[in-house]
Structure 1
């Protein structure tokens, strides 16, 4: 497609649907372009088959085969968006992933960290297993077709591999791997991976050896068995490794394919050179809330909201934006640009002011170096209030240009969309967002009201619906509400947002959290991965996903998500809770206590941290200290009251203070009209009191009515007493099913 005339013809043919911006790469089968989806205003990867290949395949065969893959819906498969034949061009469209291929990373780093290699193998195995169940085989598994983005591996090009494979079936095996490649791999593999890399655990070496065994009957039946054998815990050989079932040809080729990927990732001949950031350090930036110059403190929300929206625009421009809420916390301390840059570890800081006057707005911004505080650029904008989105876009584009050599096809890249034409609806949304970020029940309720006013003014305002979803999603964690009712309201708001704009990260994240609360764990993981694929800088999505993975016992993956969330929001108190919860569920109490006490030193008013200090102390067996901590916070608006009381009752019971525990449970019962609330921790307290049947009935109610706190502490020591009972164990297993 290097022919200029052909490219111009292609652009003209597709211009009403996809505007081609630049070439991303070219391979033996297709040329890949960065294009703009006109209808949905988003970046996509447009792949156009080479003319000679298109002539061999024919449009009917290609389109019939590639459409089979459109139904594939898996977090580690890059979904087919569109395909077609236009002016003799055969093309298809995939999401644009701002990452790199496994081949690129191997070429850059040489040898991957072992855990990364195993994660890639697990992700691709899941994708292949899912596709095989749908009757679809990839046919071209190789590092070039595996994309890596923010810790996730995604398999791409199902469609083209299938279509070409059908047209040239005699050259490809049914599995999609050339028999010659497999034969060479089997013949040439080393006697021992550990002779090449002594840090490879024996269980991993044994799993790879089995996957690549010369005799088909000695290999794994399917890819999932291979992943099981790799083992999530490295100190034990997985049961699948000990079995040697009879295998069917398609399945052992699947396992061999994943084995090839794992072996490629683990067994690379060069010495590791570290893991450089995907974004250069000079392109990192923090956006401070714009100072309110109106003289009315009630307008502070406007500058904070504009800063948050510009943060999203800068991330879309390819910059590494840190600290959406952390920047706000630091701004309240009056720190200068250099100190903000030091604490957030960014190269530049964008700060400024805003003044609203009727239907006019004046925005002043300054871009400063984080190294010496020198001013790199500044500008002032005075426009109509309804032009605020255009101002944000102009600022984001200029900052991006200042911090990087080029911004590809600047005239066509849409950094900020005008999501509403009603300035008052936008103002209501920003007020709601400002209150939601306070993360306590009264503020969240007020936020819901403001978001609802915004959608009344503009029923097409997708982000305001997403705001309703965000607010409803966190309410069950902050106060005693009917979880099922509120969860459904949150899901409905998220669905309405996505029906208008399917690219809203926060709406997908809400769906992920709500599905986690409903024990729909597969759907939850899918939604979280979609959210992160849309915006890798979404710290809240990663935070919630990390909590979900913690509940499922997938601690290594949880750590990666929570650590990345912490990198994106290093000062946010809420985000800092995530690693503490992970440590509590891992029974690492000393580390958890140290972290939560540091958080309280930094923000003594953060009630959620005080509650989790009490939880740490209770799980660690320091019951009197836990009681002292929890007794002081029974009326805090940032913590679900029944959860505090239940945890207090648990600590009192385990500490031998059963009369006091019964008194607390009596108060709790009275506050609920004579009924015990559906709380797993309350069930644990009752079990410790010896009231087994009552405890299990309460636990059953907690599971059936979706106690959201199970997502938070489902693996903690507080629930151990319930897990020792067969009925309790079975009930908790419902919440963890994958």
Structure 2
């Protein structure tokens, strides 16, 4: 498939290393999109997944917007994601704090609630099919993708391996494995034994990955409520930074498309701040705290610093 797709999409560059994802310019709507190259021989399954997912309107589902056939290949078009997959995040960060795992799990289970409520089953849930979108502050946004993809070895429920038909609790099994990966900092392989990490989420994980489907949570909603009830200490002062897998736009491309203005980097580096004296020292300290710490913790420290300054000022004028 060439750079021009059906006269509507123009391929701009490749996202990631395997070449399956491309950034494209949508001439009709005037914006960048993500186009996934459907693997050879899997077009029928991906087309069914496309038809299933295109009607789901949910903030944690990466809803496909178009299906394109051309030159013996097919593309699934979705909104462009400024972030990385769970597989990338695990490779970048290693083990995550249980607080972050719980936060991401809640969003992922919300996405599955929407999928299952519409009568569908994802059937191929794995770290490579869950995107995490960067946000300025707070919890990153989870986006479920990969509808119609081949199941990833190692993430298939035991009953599905034994020949059982698709069923929502198989997706819950895969969610449990993804959460274990996040806690251990390692994407599982098909030969890995199933071991549940110790910690506050252990009991909830055990239900998700129970060998018998009847021993798992009855639904994604039930699993989400069970996780929400687990007490987990906040990860204060530890932000979950998400990297964008997008490269800088090639020459001749900008925010407004071909020939447009340049696009600033998603995570532009900030100039290092050296020691500073004089009336702006307090402002510099506050800015550093905002940049480096969790917002709630930073606000607490800033208030404490301002309180000390007021006390000193009152003492000097007394």
The residue that corresponds to 1:79 in the other structure is: 63
Residue 321 (structure 1) shift: 7.8
Q: Separation in 1 of the partners of 2:72 and 2:163?
A: 26
What secondary structure does 2:20 align onto? strand
What secondary structure does 2:3 align onto? helix
Query: Does the 8 A contact of 1:75 with 1:154 survive in 2?
Result: yes
Residue 152 (structure 1) shift: 1.7
User: Aligned in 2, Cα 1:339/1:35: closer, same or farther, shift over 3 Å?
Assistant: farther
Q: Separation in 1 of the partners of 2:306 and 2:95?
A: 38
Query: Does the 8 A contact of 2:64 with 2:76 survive in 1?
Result: yes
The residue that corresponds to 1:123 in the other structure is: 107
Equivalent residues in 2 for 1:524-543, closer than 5 Å: none
Is residue 153 of structure 1 aligned with residue 142 of structure 2? yes
Q: Separation in 1 of the partners of 2:22 and 2:302?
A: 51
User: Aligned in 2, Cα 1:596/1:579: closer, same or farther, shift over 3 Å?
Assistant: farther
Residue 94 (structure 1) shift: 1.0
Residue 12 (structure 1) shift: 3.4
Residue 228 (structure 1) shift: 1.8
Residue 139 (structure 1) shift: 1.1
* 5+ residue gaps, structure 1: 1-6, 163-168, 195-199, 236-272, 284-312, 323-332, 346-562, 571-577, 584-590, 602-738
Equivalent residues in 2 for 1:302-451, closer than 5 Å: 316-320=264-268, 344-345=287-288
Residue 319 (structure 1) shift: 3.9
1:671-690 Cα shifts (integer Å, max 9, x gaps)? xxxxxxxxxxxxxxxxxxxx
Residue 25 (structure 1) shift: 3.7
User: Aligned in 2, Cα 1:171/1:340: closer, same or farther, shift over 3 Å?
Assistant: farther
By relative contact order (CA 8 Å, sep 6+), the higher-ranking structure is 2
Is residue 53 of structure 1 aligned with residue 42 of structure 2? yes
Please state which structure has a larger fraction of its residues in helix: 1
Residue 91 (structure 1) shift: 1.3
Query: Does the 8 A contact of 1:211 with 1:226 survive in 2?
Result: yes
1:589-615 Cα shifts (integer Å, max 9, x gaps)? xx69946966x97xxxxxxxxxxxxxx
TM-score (norm 2): 0.62
Alignment partner of 1:209 out of 187, 192, 206:
206
What secondary structure does 2:42 align onto? helix
Is residue 11 of structure 1 aligned with residue 6 of structure 2? no
Alignment partner of 1:38 out of 27, 52, 56:
27
The residue that corresponds to 2:243 in the other structure is: 278
Alignment partner of 1:174 out of 166, 169, 190:
166
User: Aligned in 2, Cα 1:171/1:17: closer, same or farther, shift over 3 Å?
Assistant: farther
Q: Separation in 2 of the partners of 1:170 and 1:215?
A: 12
1:664-723 Cα shifts (integer Å, max 9, x gaps)? xxxxxxxxxxxxxxxxxxxxxxxxxxxxxxxxxxxxxxxxxxxxxxxxxxxxxxxxxxxx
Query: Does the 8 A contact of 1:34 with 1:46 survive in 2?
Result: yes
User: Aligned in 2, Cα 1:94/1:71: closer, same or farther, shift over 3 Å?
Assistant: same
Q: Separation in 1 of the partners of 2:262 and 2:164?
A: 44
Query: Does the 8 A contact of 2:84 with 2:242 survive in 1?
Result: no
What secondary structure does 1:158 align onto? coil
Q: Separation in 1 of the partners of 2:62 and 2:219?
A: 21
Query: Does the 8 A contact of 2:124 with 2:149 survive in 1?
Result: no
* 5+ residue gaps, structure 2: 135-139, 152-160, 178-188, 233-237, 249-260, 271-277, 311-318
The residue that corresponds to 1:193 in the other structure is: 197
User: Aligned in 2, Cα 1:175/1:161: closer, same or farther, shift over 3 Å?
Assistant: farther
Residue 90 (structure 1) shift: 1.4
Q: CA RMSD in A?
A: 4.7
Residue 211 (structure 1) shift: 2.3
Residue 41 (structure 1) shift: 2.9
Q: Separation in 1 of the partners of 2:65 and 2:120?
A: 17
Q: Separation in 1 of the partners of 2:164 and 2:9?
A: 33
Query: Does the 8 A contact of 1:109 with 1:274 survive in 2?
Result: no
Query: Does the 8 A contact of 2:67 with 2:76 survive in 1?
Result: yes
1:130-158 Cα shifts (integer Å, max 9, x gaps)? 11001121110101111112322211122
Residue 104 (structure 1) shift: 1.1
Residue 119 (structure 1) shift: 1.4
Query: Does the 8 A contact of 1:47 with 1:93 survive in 2?
Result: yes
1:614-636 Cα shifts (integer Å, max 9, x gaps)? xxxxxxxxxxxxxxxxxxxxxxx
Which protein is bigger by CA-based radius of gyration? 1
Q: Separation in 2 of the partners of 1:340 and 1:38?
A: 45
User: Aligned in 2, Cα 1:120/1:92: closer, same or farther, shift over 3 Å?
Assistant: same
* Matched residue count: 251
User: Aligned in 2, Cα 1:593/1:274: closer, same or farther, shift over 3 Å?
Assistant: closer
The residue that corresponds to 1:648 in the other structure is: none
